[in-house]
Amino acid sequence: MGGAAVNTNDRHGNDRLKDLTSWDADWRGLRVVVTGIGVSGFSAADTLIELGARVVVVDAATTAKAEAQADTLKIVGAVDVLLGPNAVLTIPEIDGEKPELVVTSPGWRPDQALLAAAKRAHIPVWGDVELAWRLRERKGRKTADWLTITGTNGKTTTVGMTESMLQAAGLKAIAVGNVGTPILDALRDPVDYDVFAVELSSFQLHWSHTLSPAASVCLNVAEDHVDWHGSYDAYLADKAKVFENTRIACIYNAEQIETERMVENADVIEGCRAVGFTTVTPAISMLGVVEGLLVDRAFIPERKDSAAELAALSDLGPVAPRHLVANALAAAALVRAYGVEPAAVREGLKHYLPGKHRIQPVSKHGDVLWINDSKATNPHAAAAALAAFENVVWIAGGLSKGVNYDDLVRDQAHRLKAVVLIGTDTAALEASLQRHAADVPVIGQPRSETEEARTSGTDGSGKDVPPIFGDTVMAQAVAAAARIAVPGDTVLLAPAAASMDQFSSYAHRGDAFIQAVRDLVEGDPAEGKAQTTEE
């Protein structure tokens, strides 16, 4: 790892922006375009209005929700809101001049017309996380430290575990960022937080420039969001930004060389350590597993010849698949770097409540287990889910995002009893199944449903969005799986693809699965109501 001082200058060299590094800096009159009026964009615009900036918000949407958000922003301060497809094609002027800054919602692609125009015009582009970092210091308020978390999979679980461990240590901590709570909202919360557990997507990292966390981790990487980033190498480069300017410890996955190389190439603050985690016996300066225990050989004085016990695998719950163990170790490494004692690690794991849609048991009916892992939006996540079960009827498919399914299907084919396809973009998955699991029956989606997937409306960046008919699709998929599954089988929803072709989100997709399973089970007169598990 290289040593580097934090560079608070924006990389575009804007003289005024380089001085905007606290809440109390002079933000008044700053001309800012905010792209997107969703959760992140609304939070950014609301914050900038409070700071006295001159704000224009643009979004391609013309929905009732977008209109309501626009009306709210107009009430709270001086802001213009431009809605509709044409609003996102060019850079709007503010008070007759070009903007000094664009703050973008994380999902907006760099090649989107307005953002590409900003680059050509040398107008700096920040994400809401970059804005939050520059606002973190405020007179009369405590400045929270940041522990930053990224990875292709496991981010939300790890950030939740990190939050739970920090709170078990008596710290005022909150999970923010991509997990759902905008970090700008947490900054404006009257609570003086000690530390933020910050979940960062590759999109948020792409638009971040000056973050300097206390500790950071990249949990894992696999091919994902290639369509957004342009290439897998570009995706990796954005993920690697999580380690830049880290002060205490860069945490990497010792079982994946890519994350270790990210740390080796990162510019960090002098004295920052590299600490690995592994699901087997750890080497020195690592966390790992020994005889059913999670142990620390990094943050103890006698680490050369001993380890500190942090928790037992049983503390993770009745089932502790490998990826969950890895997430727990990564969270433990972050908080141990921050000074949290082992006892709080264990208590945090015991009190952690897993979120929905990640290997979530839904029902056990007629000795068939139904599992919702709608959050498995890429092959890497789906592989982790499949590896936890045998004799699987797999419900899969959706927006593939340009990924390759060959490794997933080849490695997991022996577990597959049948595959039930959903989604409008299943060609790549079907081809991989034919190449590597030709003997596994594949049940396709009814053609009429696929043909109905026509675009209507746009999202914030102007991309077409199809109508939502996913509840019907999922009901048909669950019914097909039920006809195949026999006692001892697992029906697993782990789509290995994004959801927005037929659902509003992965949560909508998972909820549709849960409802379809419960409708099926409760409508079976032979069995009656099955045992179900609710979050």
The pLDDT tens digits for 98-142 are 999 999 998 899 999 999 999 999 999 999 999 999 999 999 999
Between 4-18, 279-293, 464-478, the lowest mean confidence (pLDDT) is in 4-18
How far apart are alpha carbons 194 and 167 in whole angstroms? 10
Residues 135 and 187 reside in one and the same domain: yes
Is 158 annotated to bind a ligand? Reply is no
Residues 273 and 380 reside in one and the same domain: no
How far apart are alpha carbons 218 and 430 in whole angstroms? 31
- Residue 215 belongs to what domain range? 131-351
Q: Among the three residues 94, 123, 152, which one is the final residue of a domain in this structure?
A: 123
How far apart are alpha carbons 185 and 288 in whole angstroms? 35
CATH number of the structural domain spanning residue 485: 3.90.190.20
CATH number of the structural domain spanning residue 237: 3.40.1190.10
| pTM score, whole prediction | 0.75
Residues 157 and 235 reside in one and the same domain: yes
Contact (CB, 8 A) for 153 and 323:
yes
Number of domains in the chain: 3
Non-local (6+) Cβ contacts of 99 within 8 A are 31, 32, 33, 56, 91, 92, 93, 123
Residues 332 and 408 reside in one and the same domain: no
Residues linked to residue 285 through DSSP beta bridges, in sequence order: none
Q: Among the three residues 123, 154, 181, which one is the final residue of a domain in this structure?
A: 123
**Is 12 domain-assigned?**
no
**Is 291 domain-assigned?**
yes
Q: Among the three residues 75, 100, 123, which one is the final residue of a domain in this structure?
A: 123
Residues 400 and 336 reside in one and the same domain: no
Dihedral (CA of 134, 139, 141, 145) sign = positive
Residues 84 and 160 reside in one and the same domain: no
Is 157 annotated to bind a ligand? Reply is yes
Is 162 annotated to bind a ligand? Reply is no
Residues 290 and 401 reside in one and the same domain: no
**Is 82 domain-assigned?**
yes
**Is 16 domain-assigned?**
no
CATH number of the structural domain spanning residue 36: 3.40.50.720
**Is 9 domain-assigned?**
no
**Is 491 domain-assigned?**
yes
Residues 100 and 185 reside in one and the same domain: no
Residues 197 and 286 reside in one and the same domain: yes
What pLDDT score does 14 carry? 67
Q: Give the mean pLDDT of 278-294.
A: 96
Percent above pLDDT 90 for the chain: 72
Is 156 annotated to bind a ligand? Reply is yes
**Is 1 domain-assigned?**
no
Mean pLDDT of the chain, nearest integer: 88
pLDDT digits (tens, 9 = 90+) for 372-427: 999 899 898 899 889 888 999 999 999 887 889 999 999 999 999 999 999 988 99
**Is 51 domain-assigned?**
yes
The answer to whether residue 8 scores a pLDDT higher than 80 is no
How far apart are alpha carbons 176 and 184 in whole angstroms? 9
Phi, psi of 166 (to 5 degrees): -60, -45
SS (H, E, C) 422-447: CCCCCHHHHHHHHHHCCCCCEECCCH
Residues 47 and 65 reside in one and the same domain: yes
How far apart are alpha carbons 244 and 268 in whole angstroms? 6
Residues 385 and 521 reside in one and the same domain: yes
- The strand pair at 249-253 and 195-199 is best described as unpaired
Residues 410 and 434 reside in one and the same domain: yes
